[in-house]
């Protein structure tokens, strides 16, 4: 591995990106060619698309791009396994041939010109370089509020995530080798990356409007991602349930004392409303608590099965031929 002339793979997860790839593929090819021509990366650098079980013609387009341009390669998962799994699969597949990997979405919203600075930061000694948005001017008010709230909630529950950073980052081969030791099935890469450690740096950029197609990250997926992040990286919800249980028990004990005192004082007032309210409150607290505990139990159940985090069903390249190109 040469730190001054590294082999770069740009990993791009794709799910139903038929509409957008025709616009962004030339951008990615132009970027990898400009980096090579400028002497910043090795000529064996590539653009690697990761098809996440798309239902449209995304994989066919990737195969077409790979056959017509030597800088493009592609892999396809056996079925749709989610964005995080696709990013992980692409990084590990690319790490077989690359010294550094940059992950970026296919929609063209992230500023690809930041890659030059990312490579420069790597050459300066960083093992991971985070792409961080410097503003959210292109977001709607609702998305801005929910996105910023997402990061605040993650920090509140103890998850160490980089504010306004998604999955646009550069990682080194050394970093990926250590990341492989984190074998959990429930993936939340934004939280796992800081746990690996090593020297890091940030590159800020302005996010553009989506070029074509629709976003695959609606509010429901953001909430699911937040839940995965919290339950994968923190036990604070369990501790909050414990505290809530202690407070509820204390309240119930005081209520019992009040009932006994009222009985002997002869001031008991017959009525079902107060009893119903208290029972409903305690029942709601118990159901919420069971739900949170069940979420953790479900995560443990999935982890114990040790199922593969991704399965590659097809590649546009022969791994042996790529290896021979790297080691003539």
Q: Which of 122, 191, 205 is nearest to 162 (CA)?
A: 191
Give yes or no for a contact between 84 and 188, defined as CB atoms under 8 angstroms apart: yes
Distance CA 245, CA 15 (A): 43
Percent of the chain with pLDDT over 70: 72
Confidence of residue 326 (pLDDT cuts 50, 70, 90): low
Buried b (16+ CB within 10 A) or exposed e, 84-96: bbbbbbbbbbbbe
Write down the pLDDT at residue 162.
Answer: 74
* C-alpha dihedral, 208 to 115 to 107 to 222, nearest 10°: -80
**182 vs 319, residue with greater confidence:** 182
Write down the pLDDT at residue 48.
Answer: 94
Domain-wise residue ranges, the chain: 8-216+312-326, 236-305
Mean pLDDT over each residue of the chain, to the nearest integer: 79
Q: Enter the DSSP assignment of 94.
A: H
Tokens linked to 134:
């410097």
**From edge to edge, which strands make up the β-sheet containing 46-51?**
200-205, 128-133, 165-172, 100-103, 8-14, 46-51, 72-77, 312-315
- Topology of domain 8-216+312-326, per CATH? Spore Coat Polysaccharide Biosynthesis Protein SpsA; Chain A (3.90.550)
Tell me whether residue 217 is exposed, middle or buried, using C-beta atoms within 10 angstroms of its C-beta: 0 to 12, 13 to 18, 19 or more. Answer: middle
Listed in sequence order, the residues at least 6 apart from 192 whose beta carbon sits closer than 8 Å to its beta carbon are: 179, 182, 184, 233
Give yes or no for a contact between 175 and 196, defined as CB atoms under 8 angstroms apart: yes
* C-alpha dihedral, 282 to 284 to 285 to 286, nearest 10°: 90
Residue 260: pLDDT over 70: no
Residue 50: pLDDT over 70: yes
Give yes or no for a contact between 109 and 208, defined as CB atoms under 8 angstroms apart: yes
Confidence of residue 166 (pLDDT cuts 50, 70, 90): confident
Residue 276: pLDDT over 60: no
Residue 273: pLDDT over 60: no
289-304 confidence digits (pLDDT tens): 777 777 777 777 766 7
103-131 confidence digits (pLDDT tens): 998 888 888 888 989 999 998 888 999 98
Helix axes 219-233, 189-196, angle to 10 degrees: 30
Identify the weakest region by mean pLDDT among 85-99, 143-157, 178-192.
143-157
* CA torsion through residues 69, 75, 81, 87, sign: negative
pTM > 0.85: no
Listed in sequence order, the residues at least 6 apart from 134 whose beta carbon sits closer than 8 Å to its beta carbon are: 164, 204, 205, 206
Distance CA 320, CA 89 (A): 18
For the segment 256-279, the average pLDDT, to the nearest whole number, is 63
Write down the pLDDT at residue 268.
Answer: 56
């Amino acid at each position: 591995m040469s730190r001054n002339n590294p082999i770069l793979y740009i990993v791009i997860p794709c799910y139903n990106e038929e509409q957008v790839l025709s616009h962004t593929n030339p951008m990615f090819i132009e970027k990898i060619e400009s980096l090579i021509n400028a002497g910043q990366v090795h000529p064996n650098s590539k653009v690697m698309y990761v098809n996440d079980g798309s239902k449209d013609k995304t994989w066919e387009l990737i195969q077409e791009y790979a056959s017509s341009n030597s800088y493009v390669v592609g892999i396809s998962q056996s079925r749709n396994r989610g964005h995080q799994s696709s990013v992980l699969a692409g990084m590990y597949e690319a790490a077989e041939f690359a010294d550094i990997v940059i992950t970026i979405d296919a929609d063209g919203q992230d500023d690809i010109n930041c890659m030059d600075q990312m490579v420069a930061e790597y050459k300066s000694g960083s093992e991971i370089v985070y792409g961080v948005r410097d503003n959210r001017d292109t977001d709607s008010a609702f998305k801005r509020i929910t996105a910023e709230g997402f990061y605040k909630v993650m920090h509140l529950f103890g998850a160490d995530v980089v504010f306004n950073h998604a999955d646009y980052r550069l990682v080194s081969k050394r970093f990926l080798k250590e990341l492989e030791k984190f074998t959990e099935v429930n993936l939340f890469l934004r939280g796992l990356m800081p746990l690996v450690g090593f020297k890091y740096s940030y590159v800020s950029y302005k996010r553009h409007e989506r070029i074509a197609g629709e976003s695959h990250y609606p509010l429901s997926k953001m909430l699911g991602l937040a839940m995965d992040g919290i339950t994968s990286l923190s036990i604070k919800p369990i501790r909050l349930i414990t505290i809530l249980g202690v407070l509820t028990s204390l309240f119930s004990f005081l209520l019992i004392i009040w009932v006994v005192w009222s009985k002997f004082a002869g001031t008991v007032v017959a009525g079902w409303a107060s009893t119903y309210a208290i029972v409903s409150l305690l029942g709601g607290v118990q159901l919420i608590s069971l739900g949170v505990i069940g979420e953790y139990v479900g995560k443990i159940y999935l982890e114990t099965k040790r199922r593969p985090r991704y399965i590659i069903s097809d590649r546009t390249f022969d791994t042996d031929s790529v290896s021979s190109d790297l080691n003539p």
